[in-house]
Amino acid sequence: MNSRAGPRAALASVVALVALAASAAPAAAHGVGGRTDLPIPAWQLAWAASLAVAASFVALGMLWTAPRLAPAATGTPLARTAQRILPILGLMARLLGISALGLVIYGGLWGNQNPSVNLAPIAFFILFWVGVQIVSVALGDVWPSFNPFHTLADVWVRARAVFTGAPVMETVDIGSGSGHQWWATGAIFSFAWLELAFHGSDSPRSIGVYLALYTVAMVGGAAVRGRGWVRDADGFGVLFTKIGAMAPLYRDRSGIWRRRSPLAGLSVLPVEPGTVAFILVVLGSTSFDGFTRSSIWLDIVSNRSGWELTTVNTVGLVFVIGVVMAVYRAAIVVTARLTGNPETELANSFASSLVPIVVAYTVAHYFSYLVLEGQALYAHLSDPFGRGWDLFGTAGYRVNYTWISTEVIAWIQTTAIAAGHVLAVAVAHDRALEIFGPHRLAVRSQYPILVAMIGYTVAGLFLLLGA
Amino acid sequence: MIMALRRLAAAVALSALVTTACGNDGGDPATEPLAEGAVASEAPVTVTTVTAPVTVTAPAPVTASVVELVVVGGDLIGGSRQESVSLGEEVTVRVTGTSTDRVHVHGYDLFIDLVDGAGDLTFMAVIPGVFEIELEDSGTLLVRLEVT
């Protein structure tokens, strides 16, 4: 928002994608085109919405009067045995990350192009995108342990050190990053575009092309700008770090695992230029995904296909992200009027309070994919590329869609949105206390943000109605 | 609002063919094995199904639906639309027109190869959820089938 690099980064990613994804065979729109959830019953919407709104106002009056999260952010170290075991797991995680990336790129590019027998769509859109988010909420920022882009960047930088004779450690440590998150914002937008706008999104080849490009961008960037590049520009990693900050576990700078109170990490989450836009792009993308399930959208895309469909989807995606951004912006402007603080400072301060809403949207929209469509991975294990193999005897497994009932899914969806809202309000409250000090001023400053959050929550629920 | 109208329209358009279906009602479809979503030929060994006493309380359930699709020049006449069917129902998708594409029922992962623009497919709606029915090669969305 306050730098030119952002739009440029986003544009560059989109242009690159469009150029290369053109090779993908046209197939279904929407990442994983199997089953989507039924609309939730209207009474459940009313239930969750009123709970969220009521909780918000009760919270303002009754919540703590001094900041609590930041003091709890340091936490206490885990037992020594855990500290010893975790590095071993770390090595395994690296191997797993790099082999999974290799398998998905290979399968996408050269495997069977029928999306239902190729592992790429489910592995990428469900196991990785949804799975890692949910694991991060529970266990913290585990992605850096798996991140194959980090591993590749390491290997590259070390290999170069061997050939050029430069000392390894120095080379590995060069570059502390770009100091902004606009590249990450562009990266995550490119992913949202691939999943939600591009008409060939479930074609294994487009996933293979996308991930190959992404890998080149990460490793190439690290080669030029140093390892910090991956940390700053890997949109997935940036998102998982934010989500992981909600968890009761984290690794401190010296690599020691500590536990702390849930949400505490959000109070110390670094906010750089682009961070606010990043979070809102993710929120807007998920909202757009919900919106595309509505009958309004069905009328808009009616009979469109190919690039025409992609174009309409892209406009819709940008529009919904724009609306989500405008709502936040409006809340910040009003808060600034009320309190006299600079808008940028306020926008940054409250950004982390949106993270629980991001997670809630993810759970609400994708949880059923994880537990239902995700089962297909069990079969893909035996035949990852759709070549008729049966390595472990599981290739014949069929997804059991009755694992959880539609009622349970609906409850998980509404509860997630309501709970995400309550947590978001709590975090915002804590942030306000930290910025404004006196309780009364802090509470007053929160009203606009609260209204924006209620807006997100009610909108999120309406999107589940599918109406 | 729009939704309600659509549902109504869909219900009318469904031309709900009530075939004599003695076998399949009563049995909880959720407990039956999902045989690729296709015809329930292999009678499940589960206890419930056939011998269940004739239910008098409920009004005669609609047990079969036909989704009629006219596809001309790659477009669905009337535009993409939403259709609702009941869980456990027998659904027939019948396509006429001029398209040479394939029709794909997602989730159930069933296909109709159109011959001279026509083809049909009958399957048991045993998976609850919303499923896209689309022209496979062009990717045009024809119907969102809601199975409740």
Nearest CB to B130; choose among A36, A296, A467: A36
Average pLDDT, 10 consecutive residues per value, chain A (467 residues): 45 51 44 78 86 82 82 88 83 94 97 93 95 95 93 86 67 59 96 94 93 95 84 95 95 87 92 95 95 90 91 97 97 93 93 95 92 93 95 92 90 93 92 84 86 91 80
State the amino acid at position A72 in one-letter form. Answer: A
- Could you write out the DSSP letters of every residue in B21-66? --SSSSS-GGGS---TTS---S----SSTTTPPPP-SS-----EEE
For the beta carbon of residue A461, count every other beta carbon within 10 angstroms. Answer: 25
Instruction: Find the length of chain B.
Output: 148
Q: Which amino acid is at A94?
A: R
> What's the DSSP call for residue B105?
E
Among A452, A438, A431, CA closest to A346 = A431
Handedness of CA A410, A279, A325, A124 (dihedral sign): negative
A162 vs A387: CA distance, rounded Å: 40
User: The tokens 């990336």 sit on which residue?
Assistant: A101
Q: Which of A147-151, A173-177, B2-6, B44-48 has the highest mean pLDDT?
A: A147-151
pLDDT value at position A168?
Answer: 53
- HSE-CB of A49 using CA atoms within 13 angstroms: 19
Query: According to DSSP H, which parts of A193-274 are helical?
Result: 204-225, 228-233, 235-244
Predicted pLDDT of residue A8: 52
Q: Which of B2, B30, B137 sits opposite A296 (nearest CB)?
A: B2
Direct distance between the N- and C-terminal alpha carbons of chain B, in angstroms, rounded to an integer: 20
Tokens matching residue A312: 């309409």
Backbone torsions φ then ψ of B110, nearest 5 degrees: -115, 150
pLDDT digits (tens, 9 = 90+) for B88-114: 999 999 999 999 899 999 988 899 999
Residue A234: predicted pLDDT: 95
Beta strands at B90-97 and B119-124: parallel, antiparallel or unpaired: antiparallel
Q: Quote the tokens at residue A168.
A: 């390894």
Angle at CA of residue A198, ends A23 and A308, nearest 5°: 95
What are the C-alpha distances in Å from A88 to residues A91, A314, A332? Answer: 5, 43, 45
* pLDDT band, very low/low/confident/very high, at B5 (cuts 50, 70, 90): very low
> What's the confidence (pLDDT) of residue A27?
39
- Reduced to 3 states (helix: H, G, I; strand: E, B; else coil), residue B16 is coil
Taking an 8 Å cut-off on Cβ atoms, the answer to whether A402 and B74 are in contact is no
Residue B4, pLDDT > 50, answer: no
Q: Do A302 and B127 touch (CB under 8 A)?
A: no
Q: Report d(CA A208, CA A188) in Å as an integer.
A: 17
Nearest CA in chain A to B146: A38
Residue B112: enclosing H or E segment and its boundaries?
A: strand B110-113
- Shortest Cα distance from B56 to chain A (angstroms)? 26
- Which chain B residues contact residue A35 at CB under 8 A? 106-107, 127, 129-131
CA distances from A218 to A170, A226, A236, A369, B36 (A): 20, 10, 11, 28, 41
CB contact under 8 A, A33 and B132: yes
Contact A295 B2 (CB under 8 A): yes
Nearest CA in chain A to B29: A402
pTM, two decimal places? 0.84
Closest CA to B27 of B69, B73, B74, B61: B61
Q: How far is the C-alpha of A236 from the C-alpha of A128, rounded, in Å?
A: 9
Dihedral angle sign, alpha carbons of residues A58, A60, A65, A68: positive
For residue A148, the Cα-to-chain-centroid distance in whole angstroms is 17
Would you say A377 and A395 are in contact if contact means Cβ atoms under 8 Å apart? no
The predicted structure's pLDDT at residue B3: 40
Is the ipTM beyond the 0.90 threshold? no
How many angstroms separate the CA of residue A298 from the nearest CA in chain B? 7
Asked if A36 and B3 come within 8 Å (Cβ–Cβ), the reply is no
Cα A217 to Cα A94, A103, B82: the distances in Å are 19, 19, 41
What's the rounded Cα separation, in Å, for the pair B102 and A407? 33
What's residue B14's pLDDT?
Answer: 35
Lateral strand order in the sheet of B64-72? B75-76, B64-72, B90-97, B119-124
* Three-state secondary-structure class, residue A199: coil
Q: DSSP of A384-442, one letter per residue? A: TTSSS--SSS-TT----TTSS-HHHHHHHHHHHHHHHHHHHHHHHHHHHHHHH-SHHHH
Element containing residue B134 per DSSP (H, E): strand B129-135
B141: which chain A residues are within 8 Å (Cβ-Cβ)?
Answer: 29, 298, 301-303
Residue that wins the pLDDT comparison between A178 and B122: B122
Residue B41, pLDDT above cutoff 70: no
Question: Does the pLDDT value for residue B20 go beyond 50?
Answer: no
Query: Which residues sit opposite B131 in a β-bridge?
Result: A35, B145
Residues 6+ apart with CB under 8 A from A224: none
